[in-house]
Chains A and B, each alone.
Chain A
Amino acid sequence: MAKSGYKRRDNIAGYIMLSPWLFGFILMWFLPMVISIYYSFTDFNLLNEAKIIGLKNYIRIFTADDTFRQAFKVTFIYAIFLVPLRLAFALCVAMLLNTKHMGLGLYRTIYYIPSIIGGSIAVSIVWRQIFGNQGVVMSLLSVFGIEQKLSLLGNTKTALAVIILMGVWQFGSSMLIFLAALKQIPNSLYESARVDGAKSLRIFFKITIPMLTPTIFFNLILQIVNGFRVFTESYVITDGGPLNSTLSYVLYLYRRAFNYFDMGYSCALAWVLVAVISVFTVILFKTQNNWVHYESGGDD
């Protein structure tokens, strides 16, 4: 990078604008990150003096930990299914709510409720009620002649699907972001397209989607990150069971850190996760020039 690329005035202005965040970042993130990287090379168990043990934690992750593999598999499957499903659902509902109908405010609120109620005990009981062995879904299945001894939540093959479904159910945040983005598309674009006689499907693909790409990109990255960091769903609904079939990666490292007194190892697990997510994120950032449309002319 040539030095002439930056103006002194811009450098100063940039850092002034950035400084409040930078201050918080260093205090609440940068220093803790450094400390946790340090922990990941130690045998720290929260109660002892941490002793450096080199790469042992990382070696253990990749050579001697079956649960790690299981948790990684579960999380990977979760993310692969959750991301497209949640985005598609959120976008559809956002489009639906971006029309002109009565009571839109009410629907917006209702659809957002699952995200507000979060991972409370009420949710855990209700989801068991719906998908458990006396639940509505099982009765429905038996109406169609599908009789099973185990419920969807009790079956090691299907429990993860229920967890994914719950993730999709909490689509409210993505929906709101799409709604905000839809509002930002100038009406004039639609009007001129209509004047030109374009059909609504064509308008959707030629105007709506391209204008939404920055938001789709954002939501995509966000959901991938959140998908890999899934914790609440598997903690609240199944606690990782049955037989670790819904044990998410973060739930596993949480147990390692606080239940098994294995903080050093847990930190190592966390940084492995960061590395994995980074790979996906970097790939997506590299591809964005090909499909994301920025009105501001994109990244410089």
Chain B
Amino acid sequence: MVGMKEKKRVNSVLFHLVSCAVGLLMVYPMLWLFASSMKSNDTMFKDAYSLIPEVFDMGTNYLSAWRGVGGVSFMTFLSNTVFVTVTGMAGCVMISLFAAYAFTRIKFRGSHFWFSCVMVTMMIPSQVMVVPQYIILKKLDLIDSRTALALPWFFGTAFFIFMLVQFFRGVPKDLDEAAEIDGCGRISILFRILVPVVKPALVTASIFAFYWIWQDFFQPLIFMSTPKKYTLSLALNMFLDPNAYNNYGGLFAMSVLSLMPTLIFFIIFQRYLVDGIAMDGIKG
């Protein structure tokens, strides 16, 4: 009995030791970023590789980040980003859910064709899509609007559809068949039976969607031209010109500020990954 306990303790120490060692590798860039955001801009790169600032200038950097860039304040960028992220994420998860349900639980004509379309959208490099997309959005008079930023996400993405399809396939069909016999409609089967089972996957999808849209860069860069409508990732891009005097301090401070919401979102939602609703009692 004592041996068991000992073994458990050793196990636990080992677990934490390994986890911390790996963890340090993971957070190092974040620590560096945070440390640099406290360094004085002019001496920033004199001690570029040190985590302890030689000259502290946190106040200036964060104040400059807060004031924003290009005459637009941090709060404006933040509220734009929140708007685009929340709208995009909500649409993305919802619509992907419907599509994945259709692909796995309904036998309809053309489903294979459309599913291969889903896959192709995943394969084509977005770098060549952006010009045609620009032209279409321009025709729809949506260029330089926040709608244009949410739109590519709002209608679902291949990644989530494919992911949810795989998770739905892991759920036995007898579950919905039983519900169907009980007289449930498709929508209530989806929400009452399937959604609870794949909740971890939905949480994962939401986490991904959140930070992907949050830091989405290339399409917004091309689509937007008015700083007042910029998201944070575009604001960060406004800081740098390799041939001019650069405010790295402000840039790093704003980077830290803009990473925080994603991190907080993750910390809150990763809890739901802990207790996934297992299919106990229903199966077996």
Q: Which residues of A contact B (CB under 8 A)?
A: 5-7, 10-11, 13-15, 17-18, 20-25, 27-33, 35-36, 39, 46, 93, 96, 99, 101-105, 107-118, 120-123, 125-127, 129-130, 134, 169, 173, 176-177, 179-181, 183-189, 192, 211, 214-215, 217-218, 221-222, 225, 228-229, 231, 250, 253-254, 257-258, 263, 266-267, 270-271, 273-274, 277-278, 281, 294-300
Within 8 A of A (CB), among B103-130: 103-104, 106-109, 111, 114, 117-125, 127-129
State which of A20, A122, A126, A173 has its C-beta within 8 Å of the C-beta of B156: A20
- Whether B270 pairs with A105 at a CB distance below 8 angstroms is yes
Cα A109 to Cα B269 in complex, Å, equals 10
Within 8 A of A (CB), among B20-47: 22-23, 25-30, 32-33, 36
- Whether B128 pairs with A7 at a CB distance below 8 angstroms is no
- Whether B198 pairs with A184 at a CB distance below 8 angstroms is yes
State which of B114, B197, B198, B263 has its C-beta within 8 Å of the C-beta of A22: B114
Which residues in B have their C-beta under 8 angstroms from that of A30?
A: 117
Closest 6 CB pairs of A and B: A24-B155, A14-B108, A183-B276, A32-B132, A180-B200, A17-B102
B163-183 CB mask vs A (1 if < 8 Å, else 0) is 100111111110000000000
Cα A7 to Cα B111 in complex, Å, equals 13
Which residues in A have their C-beta under 8 angstroms from that of B226?
A: none
Residue pairs across A and B with Cβ atoms less than 8 A apart, 6 shown, are A13-B106, A33-B120, A102-B12, A105-B271, A120-B255, A181-B200
A210 to chain B, nearest CB (A): 11
State which of A24, A117, A218, A267 has its C-beta within 8 Å of the C-beta of B30: A117
- Whether B266 pairs with A229 at a CB distance below 8 angstroms is no
A261 to chain B, nearest CB (A): 12
Which residues in A have their C-beta under 8 angstroms from that of B101?
A: 17
- Whether A28 pairs with B123 at a CB distance below 8 angstroms is no
Least CB separation from B108: chain A residue: A14
Q: Which residues of B contact A (CB under 8 A)?
A: 12, 15-16, 18-19, 22-23, 25-30, 32-33, 36, 48-49, 95-96, 98-99, 101-104, 106-109, 111, 114, 117-125, 127-129, 131-133, 135-136, 151-152, 154-156, 159, 161-163, 166-173, 186, 197-198, 200-201, 203-204, 207-208, 211, 215, 240, 251-252, 255, 259, 262-263, 266-267, 270-271, 273-276, 278-281, 283-284
19 more A-B contacts (CB under 8 A) besides A13-B186, A36-B128, A179-B200?
Answer: A15-B108, A17-B102, A17-B106, A17-B186, A18-B108, A20-B156, A25-B117, A102-B12, A108-B273, A121-B240, A126-B29, A184-B278, A187-B280, A222-B122, A225-B122, A231-B125, A258-B127, A271-B124, A295-B172
- Whether A6 pairs with B114 at a CB distance below 8 angstroms is no
A161 to chain B, nearest CB (A): 16
Which residues in B have their C-beta under 8 angstroms from that of A250?
A: 125, 127
Cα A186 to Cα B276 in complex, Å, equals 10
- Whether B284 pairs with A28 at a CB distance below 8 angstroms is no
- Whether B15 pairs with A101 at a CB distance below 8 angstroms is yes
Least CB separation from B283: chain A residue: A186
Cα A299 to Cα B279 in complex, Å, equals 21
Which residues in B have their C-beta under 8 angstroms from that of A295?
A: 169-172
- Whether B109 pairs with A96 at a CB distance below 8 angstroms is no
A103 to chain B, nearest CB (A): 7
- Whether B255 pairs with A122 at a CB distance below 8 angstroms is yes
Cα A116 to Cα B124 in complex, Å, equals 23
Which residues in A have their C-beta under 8 angstroms from that of B280?
A: 186-188
Least CB separation from A178: chain B residue: B204
- Whether B15 pairs with A99 at a CB distance below 8 angstroms is yes
Which residues in B have their C-beta under 8 angstroms from that of A184?
A: 167, 170, 197-198, 200-201, 276, 278-279
- Whether B95 pairs with A176 at a CB distance below 8 angstroms is no
A275 to chain B, nearest CB (A): 9
Which residues in B have their C-beta under 8 angstroms from that of A20?
A: 95, 98-99, 155-156
- Whether A107 pairs with B123 at a CB distance below 8 angstroms is no
- Whether B26 pairs with A214 at a CB distance below 8 angstroms is no
Which residues in A have their C-beta under 8 angstroms from that of B114?
A: 18, 22
A140 to chain B, nearest CB (A): 13
